[in-house]
Every structure is written in C-alpha cells, then in structure tokens.
Amino acid sequence: METKLVVFQSKEIRRLLVDNVWFFAVVDVIAALTDSDKPRDYWYRMKKRELDASGIELSTFCRQLKLESSDGKKYLTEMASTEGLFRIIQSIPSPKAEPFKRWLAKVGYERVQEIEDPELATKRIRELYKAKGYSEAWVEKRMRGIAIRAELTEEWKNRGVKGEPEYAILTAEISKAAFGMTPGEYKQFKGLGRENLRDHMTDLELIFSMLGEAATTEIARKQDAQGFPENKVAAHKGGRIAGEAREKLEVETGERVVTSENFLVEPESRKRLKGKKP
C-alpha cells in the first residue's frame, strides 16, 4: 500500500493505493468540501441523517484502512474509492461538489494512465515539486531518493520482510543509525505533522538518506540477508555507513547536517531547501 497526499483547492486529502485502486480519507474530503473545523463530527451526523432519510448506510461505501494521522501514528480510517466517494458526496450540500467530482474523475484517470505508462507518474511528481518551488537540483536528488527507496523495499520483499510494520521498523533502524533519530523523532524535530519528512529535507539530508538506504540494499545482497532479523542487522550497518560519513562531514565543516528547517517556513528554510541552481 502506498500513501500520498493530493490537493483540492488548497485542501490536503490523504489517499491510499490498494491493489492499484485509490482510496480517499472521507473526513479529509468533508473538510475540503464543507470547510468544517470538525469533519469527523460532520461525517457522523451526515451518516445518521442519510440513514434516517433514505435507509442507506454510507459506511457501506467505505473500507477501514490504516492511515497516518497528524500525530504521526496510524489509525483505522474510513476511506472510499472514487466510486464510493461519488455516492457519498451526493449527501454533502456544497457548491464545491461539482468541481470536486471533476477533480476526482481526473485523479482516477491519471492513475489509469500511470499504470499503462509508469513514466507519466515520474513526470507528474517532478512537475508537482517544481510547482511547489523546489529547485531542479533538489528535485533530481528527491527523485533519485525515491528510486533508491523503491529498490530497497523490493529487496526487502524478496528477502522475506513482510511489509508494514516491518518496513517501518527497518527504516527507523537506518534513520537512527544515520541521523541519530527515527523518522518520527525527525519529523517532530522539524515541526512536521503528517507531511512527508523527505519533502522537507535539505540537499545534504537527502544525500545521506540515500546513502543509508543504498548501503543497506548492497549489504543485504552481499550478505544474503533473509527474514526480518538479518535485514535489521543490515539496516543498522547501512545506516551507520551514512552516519559515519555525516559525522566526518560535520567535523570538517563545523556545521550539523541535520537541521530543524523545513519547507513550510519562509524565507530562509526555503532558500536552503531549494539549494543552488544546477
């Protein structure tokens, strides 16, 4: 399963890819369409109102899936596919409903295109980062990091690591060894909520993240690590390679690589994250 954020009229909506089908967090959709500051309460009342009026239980259009919340933890969340959302939003009296339907249809169609031509997904990711103001140099590093991460998770899969939560534990092992913090601690240090940590890393932070994961992949292959325990050892070793390189650079420059800066803060953090023009 793959989690991503999409944006509708400046409102972030969490979605989860399950068997090539996008499922969207219903409470996020309600927040986007109603501007309610309590979308969960709105959703509860809406379900009750619809049940009383038509006898239809809107939850039947949903699946309970684990999704990361603003505190960094994962909770079971009611999520709906594109088809399910089309029915749910019929019960939302909002002038945004029609443009949302068009947006939703476009998002679903883009996924079909990406399945047929994976290069389109890469192109869209690049365009999204550039639209947010990231530099070409930063985007290149971010895209390379995504490829290295995908290679690592594929290696774990082939070596008997059983998906989540084992991937998360191994990732935390690499991060702790490379930066002295787990991803959750790192996000807290940067003042992030449910934002993607790597979207708020500087060039150097991205480079050492890549080094830790690339080293872990290579060690797992060379040592033929099998199962979770052996891959956890490989993850620690790979993370330490990045950690030792980071520490040596910090000694030479007199500056810490790990920074609390993020892309949410203007202007200095953005300047640093954007890096130099290639």
CATH code of the domain in which 48 resides: 3.10.260
Of 15, 19, 90, 10, the C-alpha closest to 58 is: 90
Statement to judge: residues 162 and 270 lie in one domain: yes
Across-strand partners of 68? Answer: 74
pTM as predicted? 0.60
Least confident of 88-97, 105-114, 182-191: 105-114
Domain boundary among 116, 151, 186: 116
Model pLDDT for residues 63-96, shown as the tens digit of each residue: 998 887 767 778 889 999 888 888 888 888 888 8
Statement to judge: residues 99 and 144 lie in one domain: no
Model pLDDT for residues 228-264, shown as the tens digit of each residue: 999 999 999 999 999 999 999 999 999 999 999 988 6
Q: Is 126 exposed, middle or buried (0-12, 13-18, 19+ CB in 10 A)?
A: middle
Number of domains in the chain: 2
Statement to judge: residues 159 and 229 lie in one domain: yes
Statement to judge: residues 242 and 190 lie in one domain: yes
Of 130, 128, 123, 260, the C-alpha closest to 202 is: 260
Statement to judge: residues 158 and 173 lie in one domain: yes
Q: Give CA–CA dist 133/172, Å, rounded.
A: 29
Domain boundary among 81, 116, 151: 116
Of 115, 129, 243, 136, the C-alpha closest to 196 is: 129
Statement to judge: residues 64 and 29 lie in one domain: yes
Domain boundary among 90, 116, 142: 116
Polymer length in residues for the chain: 278
Statement to judge: residues 97 and 151 lie in one domain: no
Statement to judge: residues 231 and 105 lie in one domain: no
Integer CA distances (angstroms), 150 to 24, 25, 204, 228, 276, in order: 23, 24, 20, 18, 27
Structural domain containing residue 145? 121-274
Statement to judge: residues 200 and 110 lie in one domain: no
Statement to judge: residues 132 and 265 lie in one domain: yes
Statement to judge: residues 71 and 100 lie in one domain: yes
Statement to judge: residues 73 and 187 lie in one domain: no
Q: How confident is the model at residue 114 (pLDDT cuts 50, 70, 90)?
A: low
